[in-house]
Amino acid sequence: MGIKDLHEKPFDQGTITKLEIFEDYTQAWLPTFVMSGFGTVCIIGFFAGKGYDKNGIEGSPIRILKKILDHAEIILQKRTKIYLKLNEYKKPKFIELQNACNCFIKEKPILKSFVEIEYSNLEFEKAFEKYYSDIIKHPSRVFLDQNGVKFLKLDTINKLEKSKRTDFLFFVSTSYFKRFDETPEFKQSIDFDIEDLKKNPYQFIHRNLIGAIKNKLPSNSNLQLYPFSIKKRSGIYGLVFGASHQLAVNKFLEIVWKKSGLNGEANFDIEDDLSKAQLGIFDQPKLTKIQSFQRDLRDNILSKKITDNKSVIDYTLSKGHIGSHAREEIIRMKKENLIDYEGNNPLISYDSAIKNQKLVIFSVKK
C-alpha cells in the first residue's frame, strides 16, 4: 500500500484548510486551560512533519508555536508550563523539524520562559506509548496528522477516551478506503468493517466512520466525535475530532461552521444544499441541513421534550450545530406565538446556559 509523501509538493488548498482548523482550534483551546489554572498543559503532534512545506508555508508545529506566542502574556501571568511534544518518524524530516522549531524559538526567545519542547524520532506506536502518561496526567491537545488510515485504531481511541481532559484531531485519508480496501495489508490495519463504511454515498464516509467508532466505544463513554470532510482532486479526506467536554465541542463546532457556513462539516456542498434553493415553482421544497435541524428542534420543543435553554444547547451540540442556529428558530417560534419565555433573549449559548447556568424556561402555547 503506497504512501505519498505530503512534503514532496507544496501544500494544496485542502491541506491548508486542515492546518487552519488545527491552528484555529489551538487558538481557542489553549487560553481555556491556561485561564482554568492548570499548571501544565500538553500539545502533542505524532506526525509533525518538517515545519514548513517546499514553499515555506507553515506546517502544524510552527502554527502551534505562533498560537502559543499569541497567548504569551496570559501564560506568563498564570505561570503555566506548555509541554510541546513533536514526533516525526522519518529521519530527514525529523532533522528539519528540529531546525525549523529551534530557529523560530531563537527569533522569539520569550517562548523559552514557558515552552518546553521534546522531539522524538519514533514509530507512532512507540511515540504514543512514550507520551501517553502525559496525556493522562495533564490537559492535552493531541494531533494525529497521519498520511493514510493505518493508525486509526480503536485501541488508540479507547486510550484517548479514558483521558477526560484530552481533545484530539485525527487526519484520515479516507480515499484509501476506495484505493486499497481489498489489500491484505489494509484489512489488517483497520479495525472497522470496510463494507459497512461504504454502504452510504462516498461523500458521507466520515459520518459512517464516526458511527462505526461510536458503536465500539464503551456504553458509558462521554466521548463526542465530529467529522470534517475535505475534498481534494485525489479524493475525500477528513478530520475526526474527539472530546469529552461540551466546551471543547462548542469551540470546535464554532470553528468548522465559520469555516463552512453551509454545513459545518465539509469544504464542499456535502448535502447538496445549494441546489435546494433552486427548485422550480412546482417542486416540493427541500430543507437544507440548517433548516432540517431547526425543524427537528421546533418539533422537540412543541412536544415538550426540550423545555429550556440548557437542554437546547445539549441537543444542538449533539447534532453538530451551533447556538446561533437554535437561537434563530426559538426567536422565530416566539414571534409566531408558539412559545413564550421571560425576556427577549432566550440565552442560547454555551456561556449563558452551561457556564453561567442562566436558565430560561420555554412554555408552549396551546
pLDDT-based confidence at residue 97 (cuts at 50, 70, 90): very high
**Domain shared by 194 and 56, yes or no:** yes
**Domain shared by 347 and 213, yes or no:** no
On whether residue 242 sits in a domain, the answer given is: yes
**Domain shared by 178 and 235, yes or no:** yes
Report the share of the chain in percent with pLDDT over 70.
86
**Domain shared by 283 and 308, yes or no:** yes
**Domain shared by 282 and 144, yes or no:** no
- Please tell me the predicted confidence (pLDDT) of residue 178: 58
Range of the domain at 334: 274-364
pLDDT-based confidence at residue 172 (cuts at 50, 70, 90): confident
Q: What is the pLDDT of residues 282-308, one digit of tens each?
A: 566 789 999 999 999 999 999 999 999
pLDDT-based confidence at residue 251 (cuts at 50, 70, 90): very high
On whether residue 268 sits in a domain, the answer given is: no
For residue 280, is pLDDT > 60?
no
Report the share of the chain in percent with pLDDT over 90.
64
- Please tell me the predicted confidence (pLDDT) of residue 1: 42
pLDDT-based confidence at residue 3 (cuts at 50, 70, 90): very low
Domain count, the chain: 2
**Domain shared by 196 and 64, yes or no:** yes
On whether residue 209 sits in a domain, the answer given is: yes
CATH number at residue 163: 3.40.50
pLDDT-based confidence at residue 211 (cuts at 50, 70, 90): confident
pLDDT-based confidence at residue 42 (cuts at 50, 70, 90): very high
User: In 217-245, which positions are buried (b, 16+ CB within 10 angstroms) versus exposed (e)?
Assistant: beeeeebbbbbbbbbeeebbbbbbbbbbb
First to last CA, the chain: 63
How much is the average pLDDT of 130-159? 84
pLDDT-based confidence at residue 133 (cuts at 50, 70, 90): very high
pLDDT-based confidence at residue 260 (cuts at 50, 70, 90): very high
Last residue of a domain, one of 259, 285, 316: 259
For residue 45, is pLDDT > 80?
yes
For residue 182, is pLDDT > 70?
no
- Please tell me the predicted confidence (pLDDT) of residue 188: 54
For residue 216, is pLDDT > 60?
yes
**Domain shared by 93 and 199, yes or no:** yes
Q: What is the pLDDT of residues 78-89, one digit of tens each?
A: 999 999 999 999
- Please tell me the predicted confidence (pLDDT) of residue 175: 62
Looking at every residue in the chain, the average pLDDT score rounds to 88
**Domain shared by 180 and 297, yes or no:** no
Helix ranges restricted to H, the chain = 13-35, 60-70, 72-78, 91-107, 124-137, 154-161, 175-180, 184-189, 194-197, 205-215, 246-259, 273-276, 289-302, 309-318, 323-335, 350
How much is the average pLDDT of 322-345? 96
For residue 62, is pLDDT > 80?
yes
On whether residue 4 sits in a domain, the answer given is: no
Last residue of a domain, one of 259, 289, 316: 259
d(CA 324, CA 334): 15
The torsion angle over the Cα atoms of residues 257, 7, 85 and 161, rounded to 10 degrees, is 50
d(CA 347, CA 327): 8
**Domain shared by 30 and 61, yes or no:** yes
Question: What is the number of other CB atoms lying within 10 angstroms of the CB of residue 335?
Answer: 9
- Please tell me the predicted confidence (pLDDT) of residue 208: 80
**Domain shared by 167 and 248, yes or no:** yes
- Please tell me the predicted confidence (pLDDT) of residue 180: 47
Range with the lowest mean pLDDT among 1-10, 130-139, 323-332? 1-10
On whether residue 103 sits in a domain, the answer given is: yes
Segment of 53-57, 212-216, 309-313 carrying the highest mean pLDDT = 309-313
For residue 181, is pLDDT > 60?
no
On whether residue 3 sits in a domain, the answer given is: no
**Domain shared by 217 and 248, yes or no:** yes
- Please tell me the predicted confidence (pLDDT) of residue 366: 72
Last residue of a domain, one of 259, 290, 316: 259
pLDDT-based confidence at residue 68 (cuts at 50, 70, 90): very high
Q: β-strand 235-243 against 166-172: which pairing, if any?
A: antiparallel
| CB-CB contact of 337 with 283 (8 Å) | no
pTM for the whole structure: 0.90
d(CA 338, CA 330): 9
Amino acid at 168: F
**Domain shared by 166 and 246, yes or no:** yes
d(CA 339, CA 332): 9
On whether residue 267 sits in a domain, the answer given is: no
For residue 4, is pLDDT > 70?
no
d(CA 105, CA 289): 44
On whether residue 264 sits in a domain, the answer given is: no
pLDDT-based confidence at residue 210 (cuts at 50, 70, 90): confident
